Structure 1
Amino acid sequence: MFIASQNTTPAFKDLTLIMPAVAVGNVGQLAVDLLISTLNLPRVGYLHTDCLIPMAGNNPYATSQDDAGELHTAAEVYAAPELKIVVLQIRAPVVKTKSKRFRQLLLSWIKSNGFSRTLVLSSSHAYHRDDQQMQGTPLRYLVTPSLLKICGDAFKELGWKEMERVPVCPGRLERGTQEPRLYVPGGGITKSLYMDSCDEDVPLAVLLAFCSEGDNVPDALALVSHLDDWLHLLDNTNREAKWKIPTSWRLLFGSGIPPAIF
């Protein structure tokens, strides 16, 4: 699944893996873009799988004409051993019929590389929130029992809010119970990857933002800053001014209105 850029396969043991879930507003992917661009992370390889819709394009983090023509693909891996992080960027949707297989491949790769923890950046539809979820910050987290043992009270000390479980809607009983359930509408593989990680004892946390489709750059900035409250990858308090916007974001909303139409 993983193909290294160089002849030797990099060692990821005991590093932190950060990855997005393809979800509403692409917030997780935008946040990962900010990490890669700001920290100037080098590409060390890519994931080759038929579970993602094939795509290719120019270098999204180009700094000059010399590197602008580099070919980039649907799922690429970047690493900074000095920061103890590995970043997986996913740029294409998961094929619907292969979602389970993709999760299995991901977890297999995560376990075989010995990552100390995996952090998934994601999002969920804001309009699906219930009353309790509309209070306070739009940012939430989920953590597997195995990671909770490692982190202890870190999330409480940060003042983060855990994703609330919501009551099952009438007529939509889940496994014959009326107990509140985890509900992440618009989150792609977020919930299923989290549940799989709980079952397989994988140290994993999900950081997500409630959002709507549109200009989701502010959501991405809020989410990546939220992550940095924990990891301290940037040491400047005014972080919003320090996140480096990738060159590819110039075309985030297209190339503008052609003057000729006027």
Structure 2
Amino acid sequence: MFIPSQNSSPSFKDFTLVLPAVAVGNVGQLAVDLMVSTLNMSRVGYMHTDCLVPMAGNNPYSRCKEDAEELHTSAEVYSAAAQKLAVLQIRAPIIETKTKKFIQLLLSWIKTSGFSRTVVLSSSHAYQRDDQQLRSAPLRYLATPSLLKAAADAFTELGWREMERVPAFPGLPEANAEPRLSIPGGGITKRLFTESCAEDLPLAVLLLFCSEGDNIPDAFTLVNHLNDWLHLLDDPSLKQNTWTTPSSWSLLFGSGVPPALF
């Protein structure tokens, strides 16, 4: 599944892996864009799989004319070795009939690569929140038992709120034997989390309730939430302690209205 850019495969032993879920508003993907652009992460490989809609395009993180025409694909891996950090950026939807296969391939790669922990950046439909979710901040987290052993105190100190389990049939107490985890609009988030629990993998989900539209502010909110935990901007090699938007965001909503129309 993973194809390295160089002749030899990079070592991810004890690295933290961050990846987005293709979910409502593409918030996780936008947050990963900010990480790659700000931390000057290097592309170290890509994912070769038939589970994603194929696509290719120019370099989304171009900084000069010389690197603008580099070919980039639907799923690529970037690394910041000094910070022991890797990200998997997913730029295309998962083919619906191959979701199970993709999750299995992804978890297999995570295990064989030796990542110390995995963080999934995701989102969920804001309009489907229940009453208790409406009364608090729109950020939630989930953590597998394996990750909680090391991170429970950190989450408590940060004051983070765990994603609530909700009734399967609200308003019908007799039909709800047990609350369940529901992440509407979250793509593979729920399934990836439950599979990671079953395989005892250290994985966390950071999630934001949002709506479709201009989701750039949501991306900043989510990546700042992640930074509160991982302190990504504390690296002394960074020239600034703010997030840098990638060049590709200038065309996020198209190239504008052609003047010839007027």
Q: TM over 0.5, yes or no?
A: yes
Rounded to whole Å, the distance in 2 between the matches of 1:56 and 1:69 is 11
Q: Report if the CA contact (8 A) 2:24-2:212 is conserved.
A: yes
Aligned-pair CA distance for 1:138: 0.6
Corresponding residue for residue 125 of structure 1: 125
Corresponding residue for residue 55 of structure 2: 55
* Counterparts in 2 of 1:241 and 1:232: CA distance versus 1, 3 Å: closer
Q: CA deviation digits over 1:25-46, x for unaligned, max 9? A: 0000000000000001000000
User: Normalising by structure 2, what TM-score?
Assistant: 0.95
Corresponding residue for residue 64 of structure 2: 64
Aligned-pair CA distance for 1:136: 2.1
Rounded to whole Å, the distance in 2 between the matches of 1:152 and 1:60 is 36
Q: CA deviation digits over 1:99-140, x for unaligned, max 9? A: 000000000000011100000000000000000111221111
Q: 1:153-232 residue pairs with structure 2 within 5 A?
A: 153-169=153-169, 178-232=177-231
Aligned-pair CA distance for 1:178: 2.4
Rounded to whole Å, the distance in 2 between the matches of 1:172 and 1:88 is 41
Aligned-pair CA distance for 1:78: 0.4
Corresponding residue for residue 74 of structure 2: 74
Rounded to whole Å, the distance in 1 between the matches of 2:105 and 2:38 is 29
Rounded to whole Å, the distance in 1 between the matches of 2:83 and 2:62 is 22
Rounded to whole Å, the distance in 1 between the matches of 2:132 and 2:187 is 23
Rounded to whole Å, the distance in 2 between the matches of 1:3 and 1:247 is 26
The answer for unaligned runs of 5 or more in structure 2 is: none
Rounded to whole Å, the distance in 1 between the matches of 2:126 and 2:176 is 25
Q: 1:27-46 residue pairs with structure 2 within 5 A?
A: 27-46=27-46
Rounded to whole Å, the distance in 2 between the matches of 1:250 and 1:178 is 49
Indicate whether 1:233 and 2:232 are aligned: yes
Corresponding residue for residue 85 of structure 2: 85
User: Normalising by structure 1, what TM-score?
Assistant: 0.95
Q: 1:109-120 residue pairs with structure 2 within 5 A?
A: 109-120=109-120
Aligned-pair CA distance for 1:259: 1.4
Rounded to whole Å, the distance in 2 between the matches of 1:166 and 1:154 is 25
Secondary structure at 1:122 match in 2: strand
Paired AA for residue 226 in structure 2: L
Rounded to whole Å, the distance in 2 between the matches of 1:94 and 1:84 is 27
Rounded to whole Å, the distance in 2 between the matches of 1:194 and 1:230 is 19
* Counterparts in 2 of 1:206 and 1:172: CA distance versus 1, 3 Å: farther
Rounded to whole Å, the distance in 2 between the matches of 1:68 and 1:109 is 30
Aligned-pair CA distance for 1:56: 0.2
Paired AA for residue 168 in structure 1: A
Aligned-pair CA distance for 1:170: 5.8
Corresponding residue for residue 10 of structure 2: 10
Aligned-pair CA distance for 1:10: 0.3
Runs of 4+ in structure 1 off by over 3 angstroms are 170-173
Paired AA for residue 116 in structure 2: S
Q: Report if the CA contact (8 A) 2:40-2:80 is conserved.
A: no
The CA RMSD over aligned residues, in Å, is 1.7
Q: Could you tell me the percent identity over the aligned residues?
A: 70
Rounded to whole Å, the distance in 2 between the matches of 1:209 and 1:43 is 27
Rounded to whole Å, the distance in 1 between the matches of 2:241 and 2:138 is 21
Secondary structure at 2:123 match in 1: strand
Q: Report if the CA contact (8 A) 2:234-2:241 is conserved.
A: no
Aligned-pair CA distance for 1:11: 0.4
